[in-house]
Chains A and B, each alone.
Chain A
Amino acid sequence: MSQELTHWLDDLLEEIEGIKVRRKSSRRVRADVPADALPALLELLQGRAGYIHLSAISCVDWIEDDEFELVYHVWSYESHSLVSAHIRIAREPGVYLSVYDLYQPAGFFERDIHEMYGIHFEGSPNMEKFILTEWDGPPPMRKEFDSEAYVNEHLNWQEYNPPWLQELIAEGGGVIIPPEEQRFSRKKD
């Protein structure tokens, strides 16, 4: 069955220009398409191949290529297979089209990517912040945002030696293990 399906799917996918299909396993298909061909691909997958479930939209920040990669994972309840459609868009200005009218779950994922990466999705119903409503820094998931530096600047956490810990250490209790006794507790199988 899966062999037949594969051919059928491959034939179908060839309608899209510039598509590169790679079959990773019997249930996972990777398709690389140009950014402007993605809506057509998704329409095709949803309308004619039964891939009606948008499992997730993932975003990867390839800072060295100055590009964002958007990955649309769609699942078919009929053929039990998952197609991951990869596209790349320019990091600046970071704008892409919404697929909300095809897949309603996209509303959440696009909103999430918007606040984490700052990509704007045109036509998405709700581009308000959801998680980081009270955050005024840069989009935190971008690679150039250095979380550790931010923490060191805004929050002091390192010099932590409260009186109760001092007391505890003075009493000789607590969790202090001398370095020479530290070891990885590894149990032989």
Chain B
Amino acid sequence: MNSINKIPVIEEKRTNPLARVFDEFVRFCRSRSLFILHYCTGCGAIELPPAMTSRFDMERLGIQPMVSPRQADILLITGYVSIKTLKRVILTYEQMGSPKYVIGICSCTVNGGMYWQSYATAKKLDEYMPVDLYIAGCMPRPEAVLAGLQKLMDRIHSGEANSWEDYFRNYDYYLGNQQKLFGENWQTPTDIITEAKHYDLIGEGTLGKHTQILEQHQKPLEALDMRLGHDLKEPTE
């Protein structure tokens, strides 16, 4: 199942012509300012420093590296993801703020690449998280990386790069694949379901049998609410 193409470009109903201009402006800004997460998941990361530094200079496209997932827009999966890394990648992906984009660099993210026999690496990245763009090659040259990023910029500008919504709307599917690989006890600290409710991103596939499994063992992750009054309920336990 590849559900990226199922999500239509959302045309919000806005009658004010200025609002349309404003939306266009926001989309433009989003496409011109991309923060890459500094996370070398695999060997393709070796081609990122050249793309970032003086020779190819990513910053002239408005792209710069960022340290923590909170700050970043793009998650570059640079090559094979071992299963241990995949858990961290999913955690990191969920911690990023939307709109967020995933780029699979190297062939290994597509179907496992030359490690197809390996017991330790996950094979198809888009089973576990929606991928906006693949840059194939082993490993793709910096020019290819830049070309891919430019393509992503175009897609963002035109409003096509909305795979992040797919993660909310089809969370059950992705969670199911994650549970299959990591076991049914799998839980990340980010509560995707309440987040989807909070931002009105609930889709048909958000809830399903896998999220039910999650809810059975999930430890509560509500934010620590600020308790002002003294009419506090006595603790239940």
Q: Taking beta carbons and an 8 Å cutoff, which residues of A are in contact with B?
A: 132-135, 137, 140, 145, 147-148, 150-151, 154-157, 160, 162-164
A151-B117 in contact (CB<8A)? yes
A148 to B110 Cα, complex, angstroms = 18
Tell me if B118 is interfacial: C-beta within 8 Å of chain A: yes
Q: How many residues of B contact A (CB 8 A)?
A: 21
Contact yes or no, B119 A137, CB < 8 A = yes
Within the assembled complex, what's the spacing in Å between the Cα atoms of A160 and B87? 22
Q: Are B124 and A147 in contact (CB under 8 A)?
A: no
Q: Are the C-beta atoms of A150 and B116 separated by less than 8 Å?
A: no
Contacts of A133 in B (CB 8 A): 84
Contacts of A148 in B (CB 8 A): 117
Bound Cα distance from A163 to B119, whole angstroms: 27
| Interface majority SS (helix, strand, loop, mixed), chain A | loop
Q: Using known A-B contacts A160-B111, A164-B134, determine if residue A134 contacts B87 with beta carbons closer than 8 Å.
A: yes
The reply to whether A157 and B111 contact each other, CB–CB distance below 8 Å, is yes
On whether A163 and B116 interact (CB within 8 A), knowing A134-B84, A156-B123, the answer reads no
Q: How far is the CA of A169 from the CA of B230 in the complex (A)?
A: 67
Q: Which one, B5, B124, B180, contacts A160 given CB within 8 A?
A: B124
User: A136 CB to closest chain B CB, in angstroms?
Assistant: 8
Nearest CB of chain A from residue B25's CB, rounded to whole Å = 30
Contact B123–A157 (Cβ < 8 Å): yes
For B144, the chain A residues whose CB sits under 8 A away are none
* Complexed CA–CA distance, A145 and B120 (Å): 13
Supply 6 further A-B pairs (C-beta < 8 A) apart from A135-B120, A157-B124, A162-B126: A137-B119, A140-B120, A151-B116, A155-B112, A160-B124, A163-B5
Contact across chains for B110 and A160 when beta carbons are under 8 A apart: yes
Known: A157-B111, A157-B123. A151 touches B118 (CB 8 A): yes
B181 within 8 A of A: yes
Taking A134-B87, A160-B110, A160-B124 as contacts, is the C-beta distance between A151 and B5 under 8 angstroms? no
Whether, in the assembled complex, B122 has its beta carbon less than 8 Å from a beta carbon of chain A, the answer is yes
Known: A160-B110, A160-B111, A163-B5. A155 touches B84 (CB 8 A): no
Q: Is the CB of B134 within 8 A of A155?
A: no
Chain B, 110-147, contact with A by CB distance < 8 Å: what is the 0/1 string?
11100011111011101100000010000000000000
Can you pick out 18 interface pairs between chain A and chain B where the beta carbons lie within 8 Å of each other?
A132-B120, A134-B83, A134-B84, A135-B83, A135-B120, A140-B120, A145-B119, A147-B119, A151-B118, A151-B119, A151-B123, A154-B180, A154-B181, A156-B123, A156-B127, A157-B111, A160-B110, A163-B2
Find the residue from B83, B116, B119 having the highest chain A CB count within 10 A.
Answer: B119
Given contact pairs A134-B87, A160-B110, A147 touches B117 in the complex (Cβ within 8 A): yes
Contact of B123 among A132, A155, A163, A164 (CB under 8 A): A155
**Option from A140, A160, A162 in Cβ contact (under 8 Å) with B119:** A140
Output the nearest chain B residue to A134 by Cβ-Cβ distance: B84
Cβ distance B134 to chain A, nearest Cβ, rounded Å: 7
A residues in contact with B84, CB < 8 Å: 133-134
Give B17-69 interface residues, CB cut-off 8 Å to A.
none
